[in-house]
Structure 1
């Protein structure tokens, strides 16, 4: 089974038209809506696309950061970063969607990452 990215967007910027005001120092959260290729259903995976300088500035002001679900780029080009993410998400395979989602969660913050059925 493979993943199909159905939608990519950001709550902060228009991912189709965004041009960074400072390509050396920028960071934007991106959400990918992903489901099984050829099947119903979808779930969200969030990735922070940022530059090393942006990350360095955040560390200086906010302290240490956990690096999960970050895509570090230089310079900041959101369209190139999204193209990279699309390829990475869509190249993964697994026997079941649950196993595929576990792999996808290594790339982006899965909306059900810590969900446990009781």
Structure 2
């Protein structure tokens, strides 16, 4: 089974394809990648912070550290490059079932079911 990007959404940006940030090389926004099994119905949300190195530099205090999990760092905003980067990452996310695949995908973004336990023993 392989992971497939089904669609992208951002609660911060109305139209991702035509978006132009105020500052082309310094921005950060939440991107929700809807990813599911290739060739099958359904998808689950993986939250990714898309930002630039300049945004990190500007917003990281001198005495702070930034943990980079669930960040996609880009030089500027290019929707097609972001899509391509996510799809390229997903090429390495395969497994015997969706549970195994999704555990690999969660390195990219915060999985909506991360930490969820169904109560079964």
Q: TM-score range by the shorter chain?
A: 0.7 to 0.9
Tell me the C-alpha RMSD between the 2 structures.
2.0
Residue 9 of structure 2 is matched in structure 1 by: 9
Structure 2: gaps spanning 5 or more residues: none
CA-CA distance at 1:90 after TM superposition: 4.3
TM-score by length of 2: 0.85
TM-score by length of 1: 0.87
Structure 1: gaps spanning 5 or more residues: none
| Displaced runs of 4 or more, over 6 A | none
Q: Distance in 1 between matches of 2:11 and 2:87?
A: 18
CA-CA distance at 1:74 after TM superposition: 1.1
SS of 2:54's equivalent? helix
Report the number of matched residues. Answer: 118
Q: Which has the higher helix share?
A: 1
